[in-house]
Each structure stands twice: as structure tokens, then as C-alpha cells.
């Protein structure tokens, strides 16, 4: 359905929550190294991620390697450094939704690649940035809402 990309994630529970979301959404999860944690079989088992084997997971050694494989697919970059709200974008199946690490966000060079593809989640001025897994859920389920008929067809619910 969609591609969720986490660039250098640092906090294991966030990635675990996003993995569960991807399983339920039918999305592919792309993890760009370096990661701030292990996701080998032993670590996944110890964390109790009983759904991890159902996850369509792709690991990438670098952001450049992933971007090269994306080709002409549409990419959207979540950031606090734009005014374009995520709900003002028309998402399509196959889109890539990029999210940065919890501490750094996405690299400036990536955001400058295509400023019109940068999206943001509106937030009040008093708060901090939203949790990574919350942010992914907000954007991913808006993309699903816009494409619910396709999702149902893929799930055999039509």
C-alpha cells in the first residue's frame, strides 16, 4: 500500500510500534542504517514483537542506497521545517513517507531535494515535536483514509 521510511531511528519501542502499524496497514517498513538498536532475531524475540515476522521489512545501508532504489516513486518528507500540512497532499498507493530520527529529524540535504514534497503536522507553539510513532500514525492513516477503497480491495474486503 505505502512505504514508511525511518531514517536512523534511535528508540526501539517507536520502531516496534511503527512495525505493528505497518503490518495492520499493509505497508512496507524501510529502515535506513545506522539504527540505534539491534533488530536481529534474538532482540526481536526478547522484545516480544510477535508480529515482526509478518512485517514487510527492508533494511538499507544508507539513505543514498534507498533513494537510488526508489526511482520515480513519489516521496514525502515529514518535517517541522515547512508550512505544507500533511492533509493537503493527495497520497497514492506506492508513495514513500519519510520520517527522521527522534533526535535529528531528516537530513537538511534530503529536505532540500524537493521542498514541495515536505509535509508537516500542525502543532501548538507550546509543545515539543510529536513522538515519532504518533507522527507516522497520523500521516499514514491520512494516506489510508484517502485510499480506503484500494486498501479494502487489497484486503479482499470488496
CATH number for 120: 3.40.1280.10
Question: Domain range spanning residue 24?
Answer: 3-155
- Please state whether the peptide bond connecting residue 120 to the residue before it is cis, i.e. omega within 30 degrees of 0: no
pLDDT for the residue numbered 50? 83
pLDDT for the residue numbered 41? 75
Helices (H), the chain: 12-25, 41-46, 63-70, 108-113, 132-146, 148-155
Q: Maximum distance among all alpha carbons in the chain?
A: 44
Per-residue pLDDT of the chain (158 residues; tens, 9 = 90+): 899 999 999 998 899 999 999 999 999 999 999 998 887 777 777 766 788 889 999 999 999 999 999 999 999 999 999 999 999 999 999 999 999 999 999 999 999 989 999 999 999 988 778 999 999 999 999 999 999 887 676 667 65
Please tell me the number of Cα atoms within 13 Å of 69 on its side-chain side.
14
Domain count across the chain: 1
Model confidence pTM above 0.75: yes
pLDDT for the residue numbered 49? 78
pLDDT for the residue numbered 48? 67
Amino acid at each position: 500500500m505505502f512505504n514508511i521510511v525511518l531514517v536512523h531511528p534511535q528508540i526501539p519501542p517507536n520502531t516496534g510500534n511503527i512495525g505493528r502499524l505497518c503490518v495492520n496497514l499493509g505497508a512496507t517498513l524501510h529502515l535506513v542504517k545506522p539504527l540505534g538498536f539491534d533488530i536481529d532475531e534474538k532482540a526481536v524475540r526478547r522484545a516480544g514483537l510477535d508480529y515482526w515476522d509478518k512485517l514487510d521489512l527492508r533494511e538499507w545501508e544508507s539513505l543514498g542506497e534507498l533513494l537510488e532504489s526508489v526511482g520515480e516513486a513519489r516521496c514525502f518528507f515529514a518535517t517541522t521545517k515547512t508550512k505544507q500540512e500533511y492533509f493537503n497532499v493527495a497520497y497514492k498507493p506506492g508513495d514513500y513517507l519519510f520520517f527522521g530520527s527522534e533526535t535529528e529529524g531528516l537530513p537538511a540535504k534530503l529536505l532540500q531535494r524537493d521542498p514541495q514534497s515536505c509535509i508537516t503536522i500542525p502543532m501548538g507553539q507550546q509543545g515539543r515535536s510529536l513522538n515519532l510513532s504518533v507522527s507516522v500514525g497520523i500521516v499514514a492513516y491520512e494516506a489510508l483514509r484517502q485510499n480506503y477503497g484500494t486498501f479494502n480491495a487489497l484486503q479482499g474486503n470488496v
